[in-house]
Amino acid sequence: MSNKVLASLENSFGDYCVDIFTRADGSFGFEEYRRDPEDGAWRCLHRYSSLMFNSQEDAVAQAKAQVPWLKIEGA
């Protein structure tokens, strides 16, 4: 079973986003994606998806603490 995305946080330029998701086991996580300018497709950066959190709020807080552009933009 795949992860279920609960929220997507996008930067002001629309070229990066972070998805907050829940897993089948009830844990939560997040991952960062980049939109390719050539074809507009989103590409996973494979930086954070292995991290596990007990709540959506914890996943969001850690995303904001670890993803540089989220720290700057305060999304």
What's the pTM?
A: 0.89
pLDDT at 21 over 70: yes
pLDDT at 75: 56
pLDDT at 1 over 90: no
Distance, CA of 56 to CA of 54 (rounded, Å): 7
Cβ(44)–Cβ(25) under 8 Å? no
